[in-house]
């Protein structure tokens, strides 16, 4: 069957399918990001270290240290969960 022989208006269905796939991919991406804790406003503080103390206000530096501590604690929790899952599979 040749595409030229198809009735007029078939391209709208291609666009509808493409649009539906794009929406589905966006929803999947947002759900993945939420599940993997990607919507954290405090992440901006993780780029700073002790050498940046003089470039920041005392409040911002304190906040960056608190955020770093929370992130490291969460990292340890996630790694412990993964280890226990791997041990459970063995």
Higher pLDDT pick, 10 / 66: 66
- Contact status, residue 56 vs residue 64, Cβ threshold 8 Å: yes
Quote the tokens at residue 73.
């604690």
User: Where along the chain do its domains lie?
Assistant: 1-38, 40-90
Q: Residue 26 in 3-state DSSP? A: helix
Q: Is the pLDDT of residue 15 over 80?
A: yes
pTM: 0.57
Q: Is the pLDDT of residue 21 over 90?
A: yes
26-85, pLDDT tens digit by residue? 999 999 999 988 888 888 888 888 888 888 898 988 998 999 999 899 999 999 999 998
8-state DSSP, 79: H
Q: Is the pLDDT of residue 23 over 90?
A: yes
């Amino acid at each position: 069957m040749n595409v030229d022989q198809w009735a007029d208006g078939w391209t709208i269905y291609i666009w509808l399918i493409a649009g539906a796939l794009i929406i589905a991919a966006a929803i999947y991406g947002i759900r993945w990001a939420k599940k993997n804790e990607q919507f954290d406003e405090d992440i901006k503080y993780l780029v700073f270290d002790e050498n940046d103390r003089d470039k920041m206000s005392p409040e911002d530096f304190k906040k960056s240290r608190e955020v770093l501590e929370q992130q490291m604690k969460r990292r340890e929790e996630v790694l412990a969960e993964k280890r226990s899952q791997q041990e459970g599979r063995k």
